[in-house]
Amino acid sequence: MMRMGTPLNRCLVATDADRIGRYRFDVVVIGTGAAGASAALAAASRGLRVAVLGKASNTLDNNTNWARGGIAAVLDATDSFEQHEQDTIRCGDGLCNQDIVRDVVAGGPVAIEKLLRLGAQFDRSETGDLELGMEGGHSRRRIVHANGDATGRAIQGALGPALEQHERIRLFPDVFAIDLVGEEDGSIVGTLARLKSGEIACFQAGSTVLACGGGGQMYRETTNPVLATADGVAMAYRAGAELQDLEFFQFHPTCLYIAGAARVLISEIVRGAGGVLRDRDGIRFMPEYHTDADLAPRDIVSRAAADRMDRSSHTNIYLDLTEIDGDPHVLFPGISSTCRLFDIDIAKQLIPVRPGAHYMIGGVRSDSHGHTSLPGLFAVGECASTGLHGANRMGSNSLLEAIVLGTRTGDAVAGERHGTAAPLRKLMNRPTPRPDSTIQVNINDVLYAMKSLMWRSVGVRRNAEDLAEAMDQLAFWSSAIQRLAPDTTPAWELMNMLTVGQLSAISALGRQESRGAHFRHDHPASDPAWQTHSVIKANKTNDHQLGEPVLSHNHSLTGEPSVSVKHA
C-alpha cells in the first residue's frame, strides 16, 4: 500500500466553479503527438468539434517528435501479419493481449498509407520502394523510417499541420492539463487546465481523450523530452481510473552518455544495420548474453549493459559503428550531427552509451477503442495500457499503436457520442488547505533527488528492500510537495511524477518474479503463476482525498480483475 503521512489530494489545485472560464466541445483531446492527433482527426472527420490541448507551444514538441527509430508494418511479401504477431507476443513475455496484437498489426499498412497521404516522407530504396529496416525482436525487415533516425519528426511533421488546418479542431497550445473533472457517478465531463495566460479554465466535453505520453522524466537517465512527466496517468489515478502494469518500464540500452550532453536516444535501427556494443576493453559482449546478440530484446540488452558496467566499474559501454555496411554519417545523420558536436566521428570512433528510461509500458487501463474504467474517459498511446506490449515493448510498435488505436479511439468517440457535458453543479473538490508557513520547499532539489532514487531503486534491476525504501521516500516527498509547494506547473509536474513513481514501486514490489522489462534480483526467474496483469486504483476515502491504493492481479489477461490483494 502507499505509505502516506498525508493522504493524497483528489485535485492538485482549489477552484471555484463560479469564477473560472469554461470552454465547451464535443471532445477534448489532451496531447498533440501521434496518438492524440490521430484521435482528434478521426473524431473531427466525423463531424465532432474537438479541442486539442498541447502542453508545448507548437504541435511538434512532444514525445512523437523525439522518436528516432521507426514504425513497424508488414509491407513485404516475405513477411506476414502472423509473423509480426508472433514476434510481438514473444517479446511481450506472456502478457500480450493477443486480440489487441492482431488488431494493431493488421492496421499497419493502412497506417502507413494514411501517413503518406498526409505528406510523411519516408526513406526509399533506389527502386522507389519504402526501405525497410531491422530492429531487435523483429524476425523480418519491417521498420519504416525517415532520414535514417528521425522517423518521429517526419510523422509529427505530417500530423501537426493536419491538426492546425482542420476546421473542426481548435488547438490550445501552452496549456497544462491539471485534473479531470468528474461527476458523482464517476463519469468524466471535462478537464481543468491552466492556460497560456495563467488563467485556470475548465474544458467541458462529453468525451475526454488522454494522449499525454509517458513519464521518462521520473528517471535520472532518460531518452524522453522534458514534457514527459506522467501527467495523464496521474490525472486518471486521482479521478479513480484503473491503471495497469506500472511495474513495466522499458529502458533503452543505447542512450548517448557524454557529460554536458542531452541523453539522446541512439535508435535500435543502428544495431539493425550492424552496429555492435563493446565494453571498456573493446570486447563485444552481447553474444555472451543472448543468441540474438546485439539484436536481443531491449530488456535483455539493457540488463547486459548494466551488468557489464558493474563488472568493469565503468560509467558506460560503447556502440561501435566502424564496421557497418555503408557510411554511418549518411545512414544516420541525426546521431552523426550530435556526436560531431563532441568531436566524435561515428565512422571511426566508439560512441559512449548507457541505458536510459525510454517507454512507459504500463498506464491507464484501456481497450482497443480507448475505453477506460470511467465513463467519458478514453486513453491512447504511451499513457494507456492495452496489453499490446505485454511485459516488454518490441521496438517501433508504439508509433504503430498510436496511429492505429488513436484512429480507432476517435472513431469510437464519434460513434458513441457521450454528448456535450451538462452544466457542472460543482467543479473540483478543494484539496487540503496549506498551513501558514514561511518554509519553502525546493522543487528542483526534490526533483533531482526523485530522479536519482527512481534510477537506483525502481530502475533496470530491482529488489524488495530498494522498492520499499523508494515507496517510503517518495511518499515523504509527496506529502511535503502537496502541503508546501506553490501552485505552479513545475510543482504539479513533480507531484504527478511522485504519484506515478510510488504506484510503479508498489506494482514492482507486488510482482514477485522477473518478467520482460521487470527484473528483480531477489526473484530472478519468471513464474507462471504471475502470468497476469497488475491493476491498481485509488481507494477513495472522501470527496477531497484518496486513501491507500489497492493492487490486484487479473488472471484472465482480457477480463476484469479477479483477485484483489493489498500489498504492504
All residues at 6 or more sequence positions from 423 whose CB lies less than 8 Å from its CB, including other chains? none
3-state secondary structure 412-467: HHHHHCCCCCCCCCCCCCCCCCCCCCCCCCCHHHHHHHHHHHHHHHCCCCECHHHH
Q: Which three cell numbers stand for residue 331?
A: 545512414
In angstroms, the CA 305 to CA 319 distance is 11
Q: Of the candidates 546, 383, 403, which has an alpha carbon nearest to the alpha carbon of residue 30?
A: 383
3-state secondary structure of 377: strand
Backbone angles phi and psi of 556, in degrees to 5: -95, -15
| H-assigned helices in 118-191 | 151-165
Whether residue 298 lies in the annotated active site: yes
Q: Which three cell numbers stand for residue 64?
A: 512523437
Classify residue 34 as left (phi > 0), alpha (psi -120 to 50) or beta. Answer: alpha
Pairing of strands 533-537, 243-244: antiparallel
Q: Which three cell numbers stand for residue 247?
A: 511495474
Burial 10-27 (b: 16+ CB within 10 A, else e): bbbbbbeeeeeeebbbbb
All residues at 6 or more sequence positions from 275 whose CB lies less than 8 Å from its CB, including other chains? 294, 319, 320, 321, 324
Cα separation values, 454 from 18, 337, 463, 542, Å: 40, 31, 13, 30
Q: Of the candidates 221, 292, 285, which has an alpha carbon nearest to the alpha carbon of residue 252?
A: 221
Q: Of the candidates 49, 58, 54, 55, which has an alpha carbon nearest to the alpha carbon of residue 23?
A: 49
3-state secondary structure of 130: strand
Q: Of 298, 354, 365, 461, which one is the catalytic site residue?
A: 298
Q: Write out the H or E segment, with its range, that includes residue 51.
A: strand 50-53
In angstroms, the CA 140 to CA 110 distance is 19
The set of catalytic residues is 298
